[in-house]
Structure 1
Amino acid sequence: MQQRRIVFAIFDGFQSLDLVGPPEVFPYAGTLSGGYDCQVLAPTAGLVRSTSGLPVPAGHGVADLDPRDINTLVAVGGDHVDQAAQDSALMAAGPAQEEHQFLRDGTTAWAMSRPRW
């Protein structure tokens, strides 16, 4: 099975817990599949401030990643998550429009994922 790329998109005012918690499950989940490559994305690479003011480095900007190489894009929760989910440049970084589905879970995060079928 092939490794899957999960990209967590952060933006000014994101909730740091929503960024740190979800990637913690992927090392274990990776032992049950081909593995996961988790990365952090922002509109531009560099430091992004969370709601608490905590600066977090985003290793990639939107223009740095090829959307065809991203299996799941998660817009991390926070005060502006709905705006982030409507940001055309940010969403263009995710899987191709005809191949994606939007997921909204019990947290404040949005995810865009390429189905396995």
Structure 2
Amino acid sequence: MTQRRVVFLVYPRFQVLDLAGPHEVFAQTERWVPEDEGYAVEIVAGRAGAVRACHGIDIAAGSGVQQCEGPLDTLVVVGGPGDREAVDDEELVGWVRAAAGRARRVASVCTLVMFVQRPGGQAQFSTQLAAQRPTRQPLRDVQAWVTDHLAEDLTVRVLAERAGMSERNFTRVFRAETGLTPAAYVETVRIEAARALLETTDTTIEAIARACGFGFAETLHRRFKRTLGVTPGQYRHHFSRSG
């Protein structure tokens, strides 16, 4: 029996805990199973070498994605505030899609495949948002209000007024405490809400787009594709629990 190959993909400003926890789970199997029945764990990045996490810790990637070839059993795209920049890296995203396809075909027991920006499960996304909870009460109040008013105007001006700050100061403080700009945070929450509705209801995509503040199905489609790498319809097909 051969070892199962597990590949962790990291990128600048990834979250160390999102790597360390799952990595340790796979790596520790050597304590209980024969060596040839465990997991061969690899860390890869856009380029081999040191990759700086979101809090300044450097992690060594053993190889770059172009050197990570052949079949694999499990692909884990590590989460973190740098994932938006990673999504804009066409070479990296292209490799993820190709590798995820190989992983789905090769895995025989339980394949964990995460698209960029941590879809795959509502709880995973919610955990990422909770980890970026600010310490200042006005900002936490704004976050709570955003969740309940997704279909409304959520511009920086509106959010800053609710926090009792100037737009410039609100933007600076919000990003410092959450790792995201206000606009990026709003879109993240809206995407999360859309994902939840796609997973748990039969509501039309047009209605979901309106309810989550995207306005039109075309806008939701475009943002979903850019953020998760799949369309709302494809996501519902793979992850819906309503049927």
Using the size of structure 1 for normalisation, the TM-score is 0.73
Cross-structure match for 2:154? none
Deviation at 1:91, TM superposition (A): 3.3
RMSD between aligned alpha carbons?
2.9
Deviation at 1:73, TM superposition (A): 1.1
Residue correspondence of structure 1 range 69-108 to structure 2 within 5 A: 70-81=72-83, 84=86, 87-96=93-102, 99=105, 102-103=113-114, 104-105=120-121, 106=124, 108=128
The structure having more radius of gyration, on CA atoms, is 2
Question: Alignment partner of 2:41: what SS?
Answer: strand
Count of matched residue pairs: 108
Deviation at 1:53, TM superposition (A): 1.3
| Mapped partners of 1:28, 1:58: distance in 2 | 19
Cross-structure match for 2:19? 19
Task: Point out the structure with the larger strand share.
Answer: 1
Question: Alignment partner of 2:26: what SS?
Answer: helix
Question: Alignment partner of 1:96: what SS?
Answer: helix
Task: Point out the structure with the larger helix share.
Answer: 2
| Mapped partners of 1:75, 1:98: distance in 2 | 14
Cross-structure match for 2:163? none
What per-residue deviation string (whole Å, max 9, x for no partner) do you get for residues 14-71 of structure 1? 0011111112122443535710011100011011110001111101101112132x21
Residue correspondence of structure 1 range 38-77 to structure 2 within 5 A: 38-68=41-71, 70-77=72-79
Runs of 5+ unmatched residues, structure 1: 111-117
Q: Which has the higher contact order (CA 8 A, sep 6+)?
A: 1
